[in-house]
């Protein structure tokens, strides 16, 4: 039996995952959680082979919990649940190098296949996430440049961006200038368009 832990804060989604996985031969759901603070203590007690963790698990996020879990139970494989098209969340998930990455919108059969595969030590990237993952890998922008563009995208001025990030207006202008050069943008709106289309924000 593959001892599996499910950590998902959306009640209906968690219940559906637990019910479906429980019905699958060879999979035993040994714990279900809705908060990240409880995950590592519970995993230490029930010793799962696979942990299915939502990247947005409160309070600190599933990625940070997955990092802590790996330190405490390195033998437990992690599958991260990420919303389709959510490049920011996918970036956070990829940073912890889980063995499995799958969308919340995936068919339940795909999750079962993913759980079995990672339990066998094999990696899985959901096809629906592969394109976004490639875009993230190829992202030429620094974290600060992304942050500035995201704020600019809601209409903030240079002075407003500087105030929000506790930077000088000159520093913000320098970041924007480097961003334009890096991605070949003509101006701020063009940079926002290019970065959004390529899922770099």
38-91 residue pLDDT tens: 999 999 999 999 999 999 999 988 988 999 999 999 999 999 999 887 777 887
Of the pLDDT bands very low, low, confident and very high (cuts 50, 70, 90), residue 137 is low
- Quick check: 139 pLDDT over 90? no
Sketch the domain layout of the chain as residue ranges.
Answer: 2-137, 143-197
Q: Average of pLDDT values for 1-20?
A: 96
The CATH number of the domain covering residues in 143-197 = 1.10.10.10
**pLDDT tens digits, 160-196:** 999 999 999 999 999 999 999 888 888 999 899 888 8
CATH pick for 2-137 out of 3.40.50.2300, 3.40.50.720, 2.100.10.30, 3.40.718.10: 3.40.50.2300
DSSP for 30-80, please give it.
Answer: EEEES-GGGHHHHHHHH--SEEEEETT-TTT-HHHHHHHHHHH-TTSEEEE
> How many percent of the chain have pLDDT more than 90?
71
C-alpha 67/C-alpha 89 separation (Å) is 15
- Quick check: 7 pLDDT over 70? yes
Q: How far is CA 52 from CA 48, 79, 103, 148, 193, in A?
A: 10, 5, 11, 33, 34
């Amino acid at each position: 039996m593959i001892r599996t832990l499910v950590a998902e804060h959306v009640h209906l989604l968690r219940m559906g995952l637990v019910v479906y996985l429980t019905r699958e031969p060879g999979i035993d759901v040994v714990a279900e959680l809705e908060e990240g603070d409880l995950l590592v203590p519970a995993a230490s007690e029930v010793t799962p082979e696979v942990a299915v963790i939502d990247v947005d698990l409160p309070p600190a996020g599933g990625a940070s919990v997955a990092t802590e879990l790996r330190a405490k139970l390195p033998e437990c494989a992690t599958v991260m649940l990420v919303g389709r098209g959510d490049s920011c969340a996918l970036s956070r998930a990829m940073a912890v190098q889980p063995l499995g990455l799958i969308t919340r919108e995936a068919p339940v059969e795909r999750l079962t296949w993913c759980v079995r595969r990672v339990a066998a030590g094999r990696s899985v990237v959901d096809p629906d996430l592969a394109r976004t993952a490639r875009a993230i890998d190829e992202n030429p922008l620094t974290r600060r440049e992304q942050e500035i563009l995201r704020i600019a995208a809601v209409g903030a001025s240079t002075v407003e961006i500087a105030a929000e990030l506790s930077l000088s207006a000159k520093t913000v202008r320098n970041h924007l200038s480097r961003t334009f050069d890096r991605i070949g943008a003509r101006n701020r709106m063009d940079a926002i368009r290019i970065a959004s289309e390529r899922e770099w924000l």
